[in-house]
Amino acid sequence: MKTVIETNKLHKIFGKGELAVHALNDVSIQIKEGEFTALVGPSGSGKTTLLNLIGGLDQANEGTITLNSCDINTLKKKEMTEFRQKNIGFVFQAYNLIPVLSAYENAEFIMLLQGISEKIRKKRIYKLLKAVGLEGKENNKPGELSGGQQQRVAVVRALAAKPAYILADEPTANLDSKSTNDLLDLMYQLNQEEHMTFVFATHDQRVIDRAKRVIYLEDGKIIKDEIR
């Protein structure tokens, strides 16, 4: 399998002078197409920072990030936005749903930007909403949904457009055991059938147990890289 995500000697520093925090320190990883990878470590270890850098939501102070042979550090802001829309599905810890849109419309949003036909959008979204236990909640807005339900809408939005990469920050944080298992089953199915590459930042042992590769971070450094 080819390498589709590669970071080389990444350094990320927040703040300046005595207040500077080295969030990432010389981080180099290679992730193959179709891997199901968990970034693991205590709070402040750098896993969310690494996820945000891979997704082009932030920039490193030093080092390079290549996604499918594209050096994303060289992309202009508009180019990076277009690259994300076409290639990356995000699951944010804070959900980032649009409050005035329904669950269906939130899930549909990226597909609209991509120009996907209404017939395909409808079939895909209803299938995914049903798979995560949200059948009948299509017209509910985020404020009418529980935290766990909002999290599942965020996952459906990330998966709906069939991106090459899914970057998920604590995707199971507000879910009970059944919802977590159903969600992980769905993600693993899409990973196997559609070769989506998944990278999770997580504390959840249930996610870690399902991962085929676990990268452990501590104080901004990789301390262990385990392939199962």
pLDDT, one tens digit per residue, over 164-219 is 999 999 999 888 999 899 999 999 999 999 899 999 999 999 999 999 999 999 99
Give ∠ CA 176-180-186 in degrees, rounded to 5. Answer: 150
Instruction: Look at residues 167, 140, 186 and name the one whose alpha carbon lies nearest to residue 53.
Output: 167
Q: Kindly report the CATH class assigned to 35-46+77-227.
A: alpha beta
R_g of the chain, CA atoms, integer Å = 17
pTM of the complete model:
0.93
Contacts of residue 180, defined as CB under 8 A and 6 or more positions apart, other chains included, come to 172, 204, 206, 207
Confidence check: pLDDT of 92 > 90: no
Tokens for 38?
Answer: 């968990």
- Find where tokens 């470590």 sit: 41
Helix H or strand E segment including 3: strand 3-14
Q: Are 40 and 216 in contact (CB under 8 A)?
A: yes
In 34-146, which ranges are continuous DSSP H helix? 47-54, 77-87, 103-113, 118-131
Torsion 184-200-31-80 (CA) sign:
positive
- Non-local (6+) Cβ contacts of 209 within 8 A are none
Question: What are 93-143's pLDDT values in tens digits?
Answer: 888 999 999 999 999 999 998 999 999 999 999 999 999 999 999 999 999
Q: What is the spatial distance between Cα 171 and Cα 167, in angstroms, rounded to a whole number?
A: 9
- Dump pLDDT digits (tens) for 14-43: 998 888 999 999 999 999 999 999 999 999
Q: To 10 degrees, the CA torsion angle through 116, 122, 127, 130?
A: 130
- pLDDT 10s digits, 35-65: 999 999 999 999 999 999 999 999 999 999 9
| Eight-class DSSP state of 71 | E
Tell me the domain boundaries of the chain. 35-46+77-227
Spatial separation of the C-alpha atoms in residues 47 and 167, rounded to whole Å: 11
The rounded distance, in Å, linking the Cα atoms of 134 and 61 is 41
Q: In b/e form, how buried is each residue of 136-155, taking b as 16+ CB within 10 angstroms?
A: ebbebbbeebeebbbbbbbb
| C-beta neighbour count of 95 within 10 angstroms | 18
